[in-house]
Amino acid sequence: MLQALSAPESLIDRTYQQMLAAIADGTLLPGQRIRQAELADTLGVSRQPVSHALHLLKRQGLVEDYGRKGMRVVPLDPIRVMQLYQVREAIDGLAARLAAQRPHDHPNRDSLKRQRDAGVQFDATTPIPTLVRADTDFHRTLYRLSGNPAIEEMTSPLWPHLMRSMAMVLRAPDYAARVWHHEHPAIVDRILAGDPVGAETAARDHAATAARLTAEELQPKAA
């Protein structure tokens, strides 16, 4: 039977959403130890909603037990990251191709243009969480413009994991400028020109580049 939600349950949800966002955008780094008391103090809540939120995040594969030390953010797995980017390359290409075939007066075309233009201000000094959220918004707008709601529905559970990978690659020198000054504009320009093949190619190239750079970042560093 459905029952009215209590205030504590709402607090758990808000705590979960805050922690999910922090893990996804790189505020809480891969491998970082989770200290429940510190998190509770930072969020201004008791440890109970933090504990419940961690349980939900564990089920999503975003946090894990860490011996006697409690829990930690799951480290990035290079193989898993490459698998995600393989899927993203195909889906982004499809979304861009479909978007280029949409009517010229579709409102999401203007949203995509505004995001492209706003991204010109981003550079190596822009905070990583800001870059991750803007990048995610750009791709979700692209998905909506495709006209196929199944794309966004299927990718929604993957975005926290994709965002963690994005946070990693956006730390590479000058990559933020490359994304927002060149790669995203190339996708948008082909869409606005009504060029499905060019839009798909630009989107797939963008995802492939991100995959390659992420793989390089995840390689063990020489001592």
pLDDT at 4 over 50: no
Residue 223, pLDDT > 60, answer no
pLDDT higher than 80, residue 176: yes
Residue among 97, 139, 99, 95 nearest 116 (CA)? 139
64 touches 71 (CB < 8 A): yes
Record the pTM: 0.85
Cα separation, 37 vs 45, whole angstroms: 10
Candidate from 22-26, 28-32, 47-51, 214-218 with smallest mean pLDDT: 214-218
Mean of pLDDT values over 24-36: 90
Judged against a pLDDT cut of 90, whether residue 107 lies above it is answered with no
**213 pLDDT higher than 50:** yes
Domains of the chain: 7-73 (1.10.10.10), 78-218 (1.20.120.530)
Whether the CB-CB separation of 74 and 30 falls below 8 Å is answered with yes
pLDDT classification of 214: cutoffs 50, 70, 90 = confident
Please give the pLDDT value at position 6.
55
| Residue-level pLDDT at 9 | 62
Burial class (CB in 10 A: 0-12, 13-18, 19+), 220: exposed
Q: Over the chain, what is the mean pLDDT?
A: 89
Is the pLDDT assigned to residue 116 strictly greater than 80? Answer: yes
**What is residue 168's predicted lDDT score, i.e. its pLDDT?**
85
Mean pLDDT of 200-205: 98
Question: What pLDDT score does 8 carry?
Answer: 59
Are 145 and 106 in contact, with CB atoms under 8 Å apart?
Answer: yes
Residue 59 in this model has a pLDDT that exceeds 70: yes
Q: By CB neighbour count within 10 A (0-12 exposed, 13-18 middle, 19+ buried), where does 51 fall?
A: middle
For the chain, give the percent of residues with pLDDT over 70.
94
